[in-house]
Amino acid sequence: MPINYYIFLAVALFCIGVAGVLTRRNAIIIFMCIELMLNAVNLLLVAFSKMHYHALSATAPHAGIDGQLFVFFIMVVAAAEVSVGLAVIVMMYRNTHSIDVNFLNRLKH
Amino acid sequence: MPFSPRGAGEKQAEAQAINMSIQSIWLVPALPLIGFLINGLFRNSLSKSLTGIIGSGTILLSFVVSLLIFGQVRQPGFHGEVVTLFDFISVGKLSIPFAFQVDQLSTLFLLIITGVGFLIHLYSTSYMHEEEAPHFARYFAYLNLFVFSMLLLVLGANFIILFIGWEGVGLCSYLLIGYWFKNLEYGNAAKKAFIMNRIGDLGFLIAIFLMIKQFGSVDFGEVFEHASSAKVGMLTAITMLLFVGATGKSAQIPLYTWLPDAMAGPTPVSALIHAATMVTAGIYMIARSHVLFDLTPVTQGVVAVIGLLTALLAATIALKQNDIKKVLAYSTVSQLGYMFLGLGVGAYTGAVFHVMTHAFFKALLFLGAGSVIHAMGGEQDMRRMGGLRKWMPVTNATFLIGCVAIAGIPPFSGFFSKDEILAAAYAKNPIYYGVGLFTALLTAFYMFRLYATTFSGGFRGTHEHHLHESPSAITIPLIVLAALATVAGFLGIPEALAPDAHVLGKYLAPVVGGEVKSEVSHGTELGLMALAAVLAAATSLFAWSRFKSKPDLAEPTGFGKVLANKWYVDELYNAIIVKPLDLLAQLLVFIEKNIIDGIVNGVGRLVQYGSRQLRLLQSGQVGGYVLLMVVGILVLFLVELFVKK
């Protein structure tokens, strides 16, 4: 399968994520969109890594491992982010009884 | 040369004795300085009587030390000595020691300053008694500081020390004119005096710089020694600038207008600073540097003409003044003009002689006026006085002596000193003599107008029961000064009357050079003298008889009005100097406020405006931030893709 398909899919997922973050006001949906973007990147990383590995497997047996390893780091970071982010959202809800991000405006006052 | 060893030993011992007392010269200015420090620092805790004792006592001690030194200096053959205390400024080749010049001229001034100064301090203890204790002490502290500065001025052995004293007396003059600082007008008078003095001081300072450039030294001895080798142009510049300094301090045209305003200060201050001592600093300075002036006939001519014009102008103004102190102030300006005439025609002894006699009779007149003002409860307008003779016999008698002395009626002191200047003026140029004599007659006229209006006739004021003779602390100085004003003239009996009787001339000869030269024949001089004496006496009698019964109360009209308004000189200065300067200042204020401040504030405002606009970006809308982030990412992509490396 050519790399183009992976790239188009990843770009499409990423754009959906960006659009979601830009347009939605619900914090949880924004969060999910962020996850979507992260995973688009993950997908791309894995795809590039795999294709690259195939091309170079004769000369450099471990050439593609780095990219796939990196994906795990991103997942860990994403998990940590989710835990912090959800905690923030919970606190936000407790204070404002809403998870509309525009309410966070109040923080500047 | 044969000499016996014993004689030499005696001489040595004698020289040592001289040295001993000369070396203690530093005590003379140090004592008033101590008085200043004590009175100034402890003014809140000292009682009035203690303040008075410290203030006057230090001056008295100073006077005693001066007398001891005078005893040494007056020995024949004494040729001046320089006592170096310490190295004051030492830069490159230029070295200025803190040194005192002890010679006949400075010692004479020492005696005048400390002697008259002591009397005026004594007088002040009573005159200023109504002041509160801290202010009373402040007054004495200033007065002591003044005496210290004045002593420094006359004792300095170089122009820098002289200049320090010169500035010091200017400062004290300012402080004392503005002594009653709550009165805005007095404060303005003080500022006026200070600023006008500053104009002259600038000239003096430049003269000192020129001297350093020309001679590489400011030492009297060195400058005068090398004076003849300098170019006449340079010397003229130096002497003219020195004279500019003198016009400021000694109230000559064009810088004289501060002196009449200086009468805002307490009357003893007017007597000490603005009549007897400080204003004669210019005369002292020129007499001291007469070597330079002798070499520059142009400057001498200017000095004489300015002196003469000042004498005449001030005398005419004095004719129509009604404030008792203002009359005396203008008379001081006029007499100072006389002294400058004397300096200008080379009669240095005459000028110094007039300084001395003037110090006595003008201090006497001012203190007398103070006594009158004291009795009148602060009233200074002569039109509300009159007939005070009845209530104040001592003041009346001493004041009359002062008037006679200043009018130039023999045998009182003013006659001799004025005559000496006039004789020298006649020898130089008969026109000088004519104008000088006319001025002398004006002097006699306004002084007797003053006397008659104040002491004769009937009382025109309102508080008749209040009138009283002043206490003895006031009358004793008056009596002493009156005695001095009477007899001081005999120190300088002219050659024409009695040969070899000019004691002062012989005394001063080592400093101001030569004897009193009389280029006019004795016959002519006697004639001139008789003429001056008779005319002065006649004018005095005329003025007295005219004003004793019907004083000059009406508002002046015509020419009299011009005189009463002081020839409108203040207004003229206002129009040609103060107003344009004011306009310039306003222009500069405009530039400063609008352009310079505009630039500075503009920069600040620009930053503030910019940041206010930038702040809008930080709206707190998370969506906004994300949008910006995305836009940023896109821009980076575009840059990466389309901008060629």
What is the domain range of residue A71? 3-108
Per-residue pLDDT band at B238 (split at 50, 70, 90) = very high
3-state secondary structure B260-289: HHHHHCCHHHHHHHHHHCHHHHHHHHHHHC
| Structure confidence by residue, pLDDT tens digits, B11-27 | 555 556 556 678 888 89
The reported pLDDT for the residue numbered B569 is 86
Among A23, A30, A102, beta carbon nearest to B621 = A102
Task: Mark yes or no for CB contact A22/B619 under 8 Å.
Answer: no
Nearest C-alpha in A relative to B624: A22
User: Is the Cβ of B621 closer than 8 Å to some Cβ of chain A?
Assistant: yes
From CA B505, how far away is CA B310, in angstroms rounded? 26
Q: Which of B620, B626, B627 sits opposite A104 (nearest CB)?
A: B620
pLDDT at position B2 over 50: no
pLDDT band at B4; cut points 50, 70, 90: very low
Number of domains composing chain A: 1
**Whole-number pLDDT of residue A58:** 65
DSSP string, A20-69: HHHH--BHHHHHHHHHHHHHHHHHHHHHHHHHHHHHHTTT-TTTTHHHHH
Distances (CA, A) of B430 to B343, B344, B386, B417: 16, 14, 40, 18
B77 or B186, higher pLDDT: B186
Instruction: Give chain B positions within 8 Å (CB) of A21.
Output: 623, 626
Contact A101 B618 (CB under 8 A): no
Q: Per mean pLDDT, which range of A13-22, A67-76, B287-296, B520-529 is the poorest? A: B520-529
The mean pLDDT value for B625-642 works out to 89
Specify the range with the lowest mean pLDDT, choosing from B99-103, B248-252, B554-558: B554-558
Tell me how many degrees the CA angle B129-B134-B140 measures, rounded to the nearest 5: 65
Q: How far apart, in whole angstroms, are the C-alpha atoms of residue B80 and residue B104?
A: 7
Interstrand relation of B81-91 and B94-102 (parallel, antiparallel or unpaired): antiparallel
pLDDT digits 0-9 by tens, B411-439: 899 999 998 899 889 888 889 999 999 99
Confidence of residue A57 (pLDDT cuts 50, 70, 90): low
Q: Which helix (H) or strand (E) holds B88?
A: strand B81-91
Output b/e per residue, B427-464; b: 16+ Cβ within 10 A.
bbeeebbebbbebbbbbbbbbbbbbbbbbbbeebbeee
Residue B626 touches partner A, C-beta closer than 8 Å = yes
pTM of the model: 0.79
- Span A78-107, mean pLDDT? 86
Contact B622 A18 (CB under 8 A): no
Predicted local confidence at residue B403, as pLDDT? 93
What is the CATH number for A67? 1.10.287.3510
Q: Give the residue, A25 or B513, on which the prediction is more confident.
A: A25
Give residue B497's pLDDT.
Answer: 77
Give the whole-number percent of chain B exceeding pLDDT 90: 53
User: Tens digit of pLDDT for each residue in B186-232?
Assistant: 999 999 999 999 999 999 999 999 999 988 889 998 899 888 888 88
Chain A residues whose beta carbon lies within 8 Å of the beta carbon of residue B622: 30, 101-102, 104
At B10, is the pLDDT very low, low, confident or very high (cuts 50, 70, 90)? low
DSSP annotation of B596 reads I
Q: What is the mean pLDDT of residues B75-89?
A: 86
Phi and psi at B88, nearest 5°, equal -95, -60
Kindly state the DSSP code that residue B556 receives in the 8-state scheme. Answer: P
Identify whether the C-beta of residue B286 lies closer than 8 Å to the C-beta of residue B303. yes
Angle of helix B324-344 relative to helix B413-428, nearest 10 degrees? 40
CA distance B621 to chain A (A): 6
pLDDT band at B9 (very low <50, low <70, confident <90, very high): low
